[in-house]
Amino acid sequence: MTKTSTGILACLIALFQTLNAQNNLSLQGCLQAAVENNLQLRQGNNQLEINEVAWIQQKFAFLPSVNAGLSLGKSFGTFVDNFTQQIATSPYTGSPNLGATFSLFEGMAKWHSLKRSEYDLVAAKYSLEDLKNDIRLSVATAFFQTLYAEDQSSLAEQRLELLAQQLEKVEAQVAAGTKTQGDLVAIKAQIATEKSTLIQQKNAYRKSLLNLLQAMNFDTQKAYLLQRPNLDSLSTNVELPTTATIFADAVANNPGLRAKSMEVLSRKYGISAARALYFPRLVLSYGMGSFYSSNNRPILGVEPGPSGTIIPVYGDAKPLWTQMEENFGQSLNLGISVPLFSNFNIRSSVTAARVGHANALLAEENERNELFKAIEQAYLDADAAKAQLEANKEQLENATLAYSYAQARFEAGLMDFYTLMDFLNNKTRAEVARVQGQYDLLLKQKILELYKGTPFDF
């Protein structure tokens, strides 16, 4: 194998390794990664879990509360024993108990609280989805900005390549005497300027890529290659839906507006839950328990005492389970509590709930107005992007044709270099504008679809 063949093989292997080392990033993949890695969304998921726990807790609040207890004690000193009605000393006692309490009526407070927590949970889900859409839109914008910066860098390289080819021709013409040394100096100066511009464009591309990677919390030290979306099928002849149609769909599907609507319902049930405190509370309770004492001893007989008294003779303390059975008791109670005066706490709670409901209504109306304004603006932007892209295409066709004629005149010696550069600059600006117009129209169309409730994908 020759040295040349070996060098070519080494270059191919190096290129293959470089391509493998790069991580391909599609727009859809970036959107998915941004949603998975965003810290705000993780916090939102945690808050959603808290709302779900609160909702489950409100459901369990309808069940009775059941408590079990056990009291063990040791007394010191002397006192009158409950069993013998005699002076006793230092018994051991134990008292197990089990009780249940069930609220029969409390003004439907638990029901209203359950409905409020249910709507809070739904509102949190919609708010989380709205945040996801904001993140997707932000990342999509950053993705297109990066592609646009990359295109500008590529166009700068193409300009530099064209000037390098032109330099070779001018050098040959100077040698032949058809061009002057001044023409050669002018094109070299322009090449130096274009090199500086290329450095700036590459730096702008690196900054745009860095912003995109940071938005997705990606490792910025790795190499990435952006996959371009298919723009060939992008048409400017697509009829845009009216703002009224888009808004009607948005009212039914926009997660931000639906979250505000759920908050209104939540605050409405909050008023009912606060007003329920005015009603009496009816509670049913049941309890059972027993008792053990080391002084609980059976009387075996009596014996005469001093001064003609009779002293009972006690046996050993009754066994534990015997006492538990003998001393077992149950209770059933029905209680009612009527709120007469609570230092205006209930009244204040109701007033605060009403104000909260009014604020929720205002927030919903404001969200609706802002949504309509955003849709109107997005429609105008999309319509303008269609017209602009059409104009950009026509401009590029004319600028390309004009540059071809100008280049031929320059090579024939009928045009100076600076005039040629004007035509080249016009062509470059038209290419940049056309690429930017394509990305802009695609993004604006997707924004309208997002407002209509269509998933934000490409």
Residue 81 and residue 254: Cα distance in Å, rounded?
75
Runs of H (alpha helix) within 330-416: 345-411
In 148-208, beta strands by DSSP E: none
Local structure of 315: helix, strand or coil: coil
Residue 127 and residue 148: Cα distance in Å, rounded?
32
Residue 271 and residue 109: Cα distance in Å, rounded?
10
293 and 83 Cβ atoms separated by less than 8 Å:
yes
Let me know if 135 is exposed, middle or buried by CB neighbors in 10 A (0-12, 13-18, 19+).
Answer: buried
Per-residue pLDDT tens digits for 446-457: 888 888 877 776
CB neighbours of residue 226 within 10 Å: 17
Residue ranges per domain, the chain? 26-64+105-280+344-452
Tell me the CA end-to-end span of the chain in Å, nearest whole number: 48
pTM of the model: 0.76
**pLDDT of 147:** 87
Which amino acid is present at 36? E
Cα separation values, 417 from 72, 156, 197, 410, 413, Å: 106, 18, 19, 7, 10
Per-residue pLDDT tens digits for 355-387: 999 999 999 999 999 999 999 999 998 889 888
Helix orientation angle between 243-253 and 255-275, rounded to the nearest 10 degrees: 50
**pLDDT of 126:** 93
| Phi/psi of residue 108, nearest 5 degrees | 65, 25
Q: Which fold has domain 26-64+105-280+344-452?
A: Outer membrane efflux proteins (OEP) (1.20.1600)
Per-residue pLDDT tens digits for 299-357: 777 777 777 677 777 777 788 888 888 888 899 999 888 888 878 888 898 999 999 99
Q: Sort strands 92-105 and 65-74 into parallel, antiparallel or unpaired.
A: antiparallel
Per-residue pLDDT tens digits for 268-300: 999 999 998 888 999 999 999 988 887 777 777
Residue 197 and residue 208: Cα distance in Å, rounded?
17
pLDDT range class, residue 242, cuts 50, 70, 90: confident
Q: Which residue has the tokens 């209203």?
A: 112
Residue 251 and residue 174: Cα distance in Å, rounded?
70
What torsion, rounded to 10 degrees, do the Cα atoms 25, 28, 30, 33 define? -120
278 and 374 Cβ atoms separated by less than 8 Å:
no
- Cα 262-266-268 angle, rounded to 5 deg: 115
Find the mean pLDDT for residues 194-215.
91
